[in-house]
Amino acid sequence: MSSILSGNSIAAVAALIGDPARANMLSALMGGQALTAGELAWHAGVGASTTSGHLAKLTEAGLLTLERQGRHRYYRLASADVAQAMEILMAVAVAGPKRHRPVGPKDEALRTARTCYDHLAGRLGTALPDSLCRHGHVALADGGGAVTARGQRFLAEFGLDLEHDRGKGRPLCRTCLDWSERRPHLAGRLGAGLLDRLLALGWLARNPDSRALAITPAGVQGFADRFDLAPERWTGG
């Protein structure tokens, strides 16, 4: 029998994620925001008491962290690893059964633009690195990438502080497999910074009930002007 450590500890974590209620909670937290137990209960579609038990298990296992604030308890994903695990599982899920790809209208919004933990994903999320590459602002290669000198100027002018959160070992530019597009989008400090900035500029708007992001009129204009991204690049198909 192979190592006890390998199989069984993987199973323990996967079993936690493997319950629909818990998976929906984790999915909701992929938005990157901290949510209260009550909100998570709503997302999962189960009662408060049930939710409490689930959250206890998830924090116990180190998938979530808890922050008490008054009579609320805010939960968030414990690490980017957890978010990445969710993304990969999603990629496996959609790749899996060759048949079966009924995408509802609700999912269409997710495919256009959504958060992936703390960065941008979806068609817009994958179009962005395309644009940056095309203009020589970043060079992507095999799961990682680098920002060119020209890109540094461009991004600084756009309002990004690439030195922010340096240290802590988090890479500046990393790519992450997009489960809906099956192409890379930007993660790492660059990806997180970009999303922050896009939200701050009001180009994108969060949706309180879902990970889907709305592209505002200012965003449509801005992406076209500053990133050479016409709307056709992120709308359906």
Instruction: Return the residue of 2, 3, 6, 49 that touches DNA, per CB under 7 A.
Output: 49
Contact flag: residue 1 with DNA (CB under 7 A) = no
Using alpha carbons, select from 124, 115, 109 the residue that is nearest to residue 196. Answer: 115
Q: Would you count residue 47 as binding DNA (CB under 7 A)? A: yes
Per CB under 7 A, the list member of 46, 138, 155, 177 interacting with DNA is: 46
**What is the Cα–Cα distance from 215 to 205, expressed in whole angstroms?**
7
Nearest to 20 by CA among 48, 44, 52: 44
Query: CA dist 108 to 59, 150, 211, 223, Å?
Result: 32, 35, 12, 20
Residues between 195 and 234 that touch a copy of itself (CB under 8 A): 209-212
Token pair recorded at residue 70: 């008054």
User: Would you say 41 or 124 has its CB closer to DNA?
Assistant: 41
The answer to the question of residue 45 lying near a copy of itself (CB under 8 A) is yes
User: Which partner from the list a copy of itself, DNA, none does 37 bind, CB cut-off 5 to 8 Å by kind?
Assistant: DNA
Kindly tell me which residue out of 27, 52, 152, 210 binds DNA, with binding defined by CB under 7 A: 52
Count of chain residues binding a copy of itself (CB under 8 A): 76
Q: Does 23 bind a copy of itself (CB under 8 A)?
A: yes
- The window from 1-9, 118-126, 192-200, 215-223 that contacts a copy of itself (CB under 8 A) reads 1-9
* DSSP β-ladder status, 184-187 and 204-207: unpaired
Q: At residue 114, what are phi and psi to the nearest 5 degrees?
A: -150, 165
188 in contact with a copy of itself (CB under 8 A)? yes
Over the window 86 to 125, marking each residue x when it contacts a copy of itself by CB under 8 A and - when it does not, the resulting string is: x-xxxxxxxxxxx----xx-xx--x---------------
The piece of 39-47, 90-98, 103-111, 207-215 that touches DNA (CB under 7 A) is 39-47
3 state SS for 34-91:
CEEHHHHHHHHCCCHHHHHHHHHHHHHCCCEEEEEECCEEEEEECCHHHHHHHHHHHH
| DSSP state letter for 10 | H
